[in-house]
Structure 1
């Protein structure tokens, strides 16, 4: 029950969560992120962001 009432990231004032991002990881840990905007949809933005992140993988 307490978890249902606990604040989370979306509750931080001034934050906006949209599609179009992908994490960049090293050694299994997140170290950065890639954000893309401008495609007709957030789904496509995210697809392109993931493609960019994949090129960084060893």
Structure 2
């Protein structure tokens, strides 16, 4: 096999031979977290459902 082919094969996991993808940039990562209710030794906290929970909601990233 050629050096180029060996180098390309080295990037594939031996278990599945699927190509590895680089991690996304931090500005491409998003997560929406929400706790409706939680209780600690300091008390109980609760909120309404978040806006992004509504069916049909779209995110305007601007």
Bin the TM-score by the shorter chain.
under 0.3
Structure whose residues are more often strand by fraction:
1
Q: TM-score, normalization: structure 2?
A: 0.24
Q: TM-score, normalization: structure 1?
A: 0.25
Structure whose residues are more often helix by fraction:
1
Which one has the largest radius of gyration?
2
Higher relative contact order (CA 8 A, sep 6+): 1
